[in-house]
Amino acid sequence: MMNKKRNVQEQFGKHANRYVTSTTHAKSEDLPMMVEWLQPQKTEKVLDIATGGGHVAHTLAPHVKRVVVSDLTKPMLQAAVNFLETHDNIEAVVADAEELPFLDETFDIVICRIAAHHFPNPDRFIQEVGRVIKKGGAFVLIDNVSSEHREIADFYNSFEEKRDCSHQRALPISEWKALMNQFDLKIQKQSLRKKTLPYHEWVSRMIEDGNEREEIHQMMVGAEQEIKEYFQMEMKENRLLSFAIDEWMVLCTKG
């Protein structure tokens, strides 16, 4: 278990600043949608779990009383804090999403965006979310999800892990829903969309070695036609330009 989490720290520690500037993370329709769904208030305290580049905190900080940004990886958290220096209501805490260092019912809002597929134990993560949210509070999860079809899900998780050894598993929506139900988080809104990723930016964010990048490229372009169509692979002269994955956004309230 510690090896898995050490992989997360090593991978994101090396590439922290790339996540601050990543167009996939910084510019996306889910950020304004998050504000629309939450209708945040100036009295509220927010926890941003696995903040990454700090984009959730940057979006919500003007609307709330305080935002606590947390991350398992210190260099990543430092990069986020540097990015967030224009805000005066940010607090940074090094924290494991599966063992949060906060008292019960501390936060009005908890958010985790594009990070949960790195958590070895998603059940512990959701349990901790339910613990630290106030009764009636809101939880927004945004993450890449896998298909309910095993073959497609296995292909997706395989190429993600090949690019990033800290990737654990993108869950299908059915598994997330079961966990939320188990820990008394009631789904209020949800949205599933295809998220297009520029291949070169996506693979280069984690892989510097050209041979390793080419190995991943060959794995993807060599997939069966059904899988290529599912991931909407865009090709030019036998080179992969972009592909699309499923991203699920869900708003829950604590019962």
179 close to 116: Cβ distance less than 8 angstroms: no
**Residue 13: predicted pLDDT:** 42
pLDDT digits (tens, 9 = 90+) for 97-114: 999 999 999 999 999 999
Q: Residue 96 is encoded by which pair of tokens?
A: 């494991």
pTM of the model: 0.89
Tell me the C-alpha distance between 16 and 74, whole Å.
Answer: 9
pLDDT digits (tens, 9 = 90+) for 206-221: 898 999 999 999 999 9
**Residue 208: predicted pLDDT:** 87
183 close to 126: Cβ distance less than 8 angstroms: yes
Domains of the chain, earliest start first: 2-147+166-196+247-254 (3.40.50.150)
pLDDT digits (tens, 9 = 90+) for 50-83: 999 999 999 999 999 999 999 998 988 999 999 9
pLDDT digits (tens, 9 = 90+) for 127-159: 999 999 999 999 999 999 999 999 999 999 999
Mean predicted confidence (pLDDT) in 171-184: 98
DSSP string, 109-143: EEEEES-GGG-S-HHHHHHHHHHHEEEEEEEEEEE
Q: For the chain, give the mean pLDDT.
A: 91
CB-CB neighbours of 164 under 10 Å: 21
